[in-house]
Amino acid sequence: MTEPTAPLRIGNFSGFYGDRFDALHEMLTGGELDVLTGDYLAELTMLILGRDRLKDPTAGYARTFLRQLEGCLGLAHERGVRIVTNAGGLNPAGLADAIRNLAGRLGIPTRVAHVEGDDLTAAHPGSLAAHAYLGGFGIAACLREGADIVVTGRVTDAALVTGPAAAHFGWQPGEYDRLAGAVVAGHVLECGAQATGGNYAFFRDADVRRPGFPLAEIHADGTGVITKHPGTGGLVDVGTVTAQFLYETAGARYAGPDVTARLDTVRLTQDGPDRVRVEGVRGEAPPPALKVGRNRLGGFRNEVVFVLTGLDIEAKAALVQAQLTDALAKSPPGEVRWDLVRTDRPDADTEETASALLRLVVRDPDQEAVGRALSGAAIELALASYPGFHVLAPPGKGAPYGVFEDVYVPHGAVDHVAVLYDGRRIPVSPAQDTLVLHDVAEPPLPEAPPPGPTRRAPLGLVAGARSGDKGGNANAGVWVRTEDAWRWLVHELTVDRFRDLLPECRPLPVVRHVLPNLRALNFTVEGILGEGVAAQHRFDPQAKGLGEWLRSRHLDIPEALL
C-alpha cells in the first residue's frame, strides 16, 4: 500500500451480483489503485444464496467473482492491488478456500483471509438466512496482517471501504469523524456505476452508455474525493454523487456497526472535471444494537396478466374478475390482488396500444391454492369470458417467495472474527460506546421565494430524484441544483404534497428529512413494498422507479426556475 500520508485510492468493481463482468479487469488496468472492492450482496441476493445452499451445502457464495478473478488475479498481484469483497455471502470460508485453490492452480502467491461471525441463522428458527451486518474492523485486521484478498459475508456495504481505510491509516474504534467520512465514501462507491452517471435523473448531461466505475481518494482525516479512471465513460459531478448519496438512506443519522454518520453535515463541492470533494462529515457512536437481515420463505406466489383490448375496458375487467372469484370460491388463495393498468389509448393505430393489462397476483402457504387451481380456473375462461380474451402467458404451478425482515441484536451477540491466511483467528471486539438513535430536529428553512408567475410542468424539469428499497419500505430522495430552486422545493414539496403527487403513498406513513447542505429532501414511505423485494408486493418491487414517477408529476413551478 501507499504511505499513510498519501490518500488511499479505493475503487469499486461490482455493485450487485450480476454487475458488469469486465469491471474488475477495467479497474485494474485503467489507473492507479491501492484497493478494489466488490459489493455482491443485497436483501434479495441473500435469499437466492440461501436457496442455493439448501441444494448444495458447499454453495452460498457469488460464483461470478471466482470467474472474474481467474483472469485478473495475476494483474492484481503485479500491481499490488488488494481486493476486498462480500462475495462470500453465506459461505465466506468456502469462497476463501476456492480462491486459494485458484491461486495455487495459477501459480500466483496470494494470501487470502476471510471474516466470519455474521451468520445467526441457527439462532432464528424458521429462517433461510439470518445475518448480522458487521462493520469494517474485521476487514482491517485481515489487511493489517498482510492479506491480499479479504472475503466477507454480510457486512455493511460501506464496511468494504471503512475496513481498508482503518487499516491503512491506523484508525481505531471511536475515531468517529474519520470513520463517518469513510462510511459516506463507501456508500457512494457501493453501487458501482450509479455514482458515475448510471441510473441518473439527468442522464442526458453526458455520455452514459458505458459509465466507468467509481473510486475514492480517502485522506487520513476522513475527507475524500469521488472520481473515476481517466477516459472512462459517464461523469462524476455533484449531482451524480448526491443521487447515490440519497440512495437507500433515510434521515440525518446513517447508522452502522462502527459509527453513525451525520448525513446532514456532508458537504459536496466540484473539485475539477469528474472530481467531487466530500468533506465536513461528522460521526457519532453507533447504536447499541446490530441490524440482522432475516430471510424466510413466505409461501407460494402466482400471477396471470389478462390483455383487455379496445372498448369497455372497465366492464371487461369486472367480468373476468367476477368469473375468477366465483371459480376460486371453494378454496380461495390467502391473498388476492388485482391491478388494472390502463396502457390503452383511444382510437389506437396498433393493437398493443389499444390494450390494457389486468394483473392478478395470488399468494398462499399452499402451492396447490395458487398453482393448479388458478391455472385451471384462468385457462377454462379462454372461450367463455370477455371478447378478445387472451393472457400474456399462462399461469404456472406457483413459485416460492421470500420475506425479508429486520431484527436487532446486541453487539456482543455476534462472534466477529478475522480468519487470517495462515489460519490464525483474531477476535474483533464489539463497540464499547454506543448511542441510542433519535431523530434530528428539522433545520431552519430558508425564506420562501416571493410570489410570481408559475407554469404547470413536471417536477423533473427542476429536480432530480433517486429511489430504492429497505425491506418493506422505500425512500425517494429529491434534490435541486440551485439555491433559488431549493428555496422553492423545501416549501413546496411537503409530506402532504408528496402524497398528493404519489397517490399510492396516501394511506402510508411518510416521513420527510431535510438535508440543506445537499439541497435535498429524502422521503421514506413505510410499508409500500409489503414484505420486501422477494415478496414482489408491487410491480416495481424495489421502488427503483418511484423517484422517476415523482419527477413526472405536474405541479405549479415558478417560471423563473423553468
What average pLDDT does this structure show over 426-451? 93
Q: How confident is the model at residue 279 (pLDDT cuts 50, 70, 90)?
A: very high
Q: Give the pLDDT band of residue 324 (cuts 50, 70, 90).
A: very high
Joined together, the cell numbers standing for residue 210 give: 458505458
In whole angstroms, give the CA distance from residue 178 to residue 174. Answer: 9
Return the number of other C-beta atoms located less than 10 Å from residue 495's C-beta.
Answer: 14
DSSP string over 109-143:
---EEEEE--B-GGGSTT-SEEEE-B-SHHHHHHH
The 10s digit of each residue's pLDDT in 166-205 is 999 999 999 999 999 999 999 999 999 999 999 999 999 9
Q: What is the Cα Rg of the chain in Å?
A: 25
Grid cell for residue 191: 453501487
pLDDT at 283 over 70: yes
Q: Is the pLDDT of residue 331 over 90?
A: no
How deeply is 346 buried, as exposed, middle or buried, from its count of CB atoms within 10 A (0-12, 13-18, 19+)?
exposed
Share of the chain above pLDDT 70, in %: 99
Maximum mean pLDDT: which of 325-339, 430-444, 475-489: 475-489
What are the residues whose beta carbons fall under 8 Å from the beta carbon of 55, sequence distance 6 or more? Answer: none
Other beta carbons within 10 Å of 139: 34
Among candidate residues 344, 372, 373, 377, the one with its CA nearest the CA of residue 358: 344
The 10s digit of each residue's pLDDT in 210-254 is: 999 999 999 999 999 999 999 999 999 999 999 999 999 988 999
C-alpha cell at 398: 406457483
- 255, 290 in Cβ contact below 8 A? no
Taking residues 482-498, report their average pLDDT: 98
Report which secondary-structure segment, H or E, holds 69. helix 63-70
Task: Return the pLDDT at 373.
Answer: 86
Mean pLDDT of 315-319: 98
Who's near 350: CB < 8 A, 6+ residues apart? none
Strand, helix or coil for residue 312: coil
Residues 6+ apart with CB under 8 A from 368: none
Give one word for 411, left, alpha or beta, with left for phi > 0 and alpha for psi -120 to 50: alpha
Q: What is the pLDDT of residues 7-24, one digit of tens each?
A: 999 999 999 999 999 999
Q: Please list, in sequence order, all residues whose beta carbon lies within 8 angstroms of the beta carbon of residue 57, skipping any fewer than 6 positions away.
A: none
CA distances from 174 to 8, 133, 331, 385, 474 (A): 20, 18, 58, 68, 31
By three-state DSSP, how is residue 406 classified?
A: strand
Rounded CA-CA distance 426/204 in Å is 49
Is the dihedral angle over the CA atoms 19, 21, 22, 24 positive or is it negative? Answer: positive
Structural domains of the chain sorted by starting position, each given as residue range(s) with its CATH number in brackets? 8-293+406-427 (no CATH), 303-398 (3.30.70), 454-561 (no CATH)
Q: Which long-range contacts (CB under 8 A, 24 or more apart) does 155-158 make?
A: 155/86, 155/115, 155/118, 156/186, 156/256, 156/257, 157/39, 157/41, 157/86, 157/186, 157/187, 157/190, 158/182, 158/183, 158/184, 158/185, 158/186, 158/187, 158/190, 158/256
Strand partners of residue 262: 253, 282
CA dihedral over 128, 65, 192, 78, signed as positive or negative: positive
Across the chain, what does the average pLDDT equal?
95
Give the total residue count for the chain: 562
Indicate whether 41 pLDDT > 60.
Answer: yes
Q: How far is CA 514 from CA 141, 244, 253, in A?
A: 37, 16, 12
pLDDT confidence tier of residue 4, bands split at 50, 70 and 90: low
Which pTM does this prediction carry? 0.94
Q: Quick one: pLDDT at residue 177?
A: 98
**Residue 253 DSSP SS3:** strand
Position 1 scores a pLDDT of 45
91-123 tens-digit pLDDT: 999 999 999 999 999 999 999 999 999 999 999
pLDDT at 394 (0 to 100)? 87
Neighbours of 392 (CB within 10 A): 11
Backbone angles phi, psi at 222, to 5 degrees: 95, -10
pLDDT bucket at 535, cuts 50 / 70 / 90: confident
Residue 359: what pLDDT? 96
Q: What is the 3-state secondary structure (H, E, C) of 158-194?
A: CHHHHHHHHHHHCCCCCCHHHHHHHHHHHHHHCCHHH
How far apart are the C-alpha atoms of 229 and 530, rounded to whole Å? Answer: 40
Q: Which residue has the cell 407460494?
A: 300
Q: How many CA atoms lie within 13 A of 147 on its CB side?
A: 33
Q: What is the DSSP letter of 551?
A: H
Q: pLDDT value at position 531?
A: 86
CA distances to 128, 131, 350, 449 from 121, in Å: 7, 7, 53, 54
The residue-averaged pLDDT of 264-268 equals 97
- CA 221 from chain centre, in angstroms, equals 27
Residue 300 CA neighbour count, 13 Å, CB half: 18
The type of residue at 301 is R
With a cut of 80, say whether residue 3 has pLDDT above it: no
C-alpha span between 333 and 128 (Å, rounded) = 24
Quick check: helix, strand or coil at residue 323?
Answer: helix
Locus of grid cell 398493443: 352
Residue type at 560 in one-letter notation: A
Q: Residue 265: which residues within 8 A CB-CB, separation 6 or more?
A: 280, 281, 282, 517
- The grid coordinates listed for 169 are 491509516
Longest CA–CA span in the chain (Å) reads 77
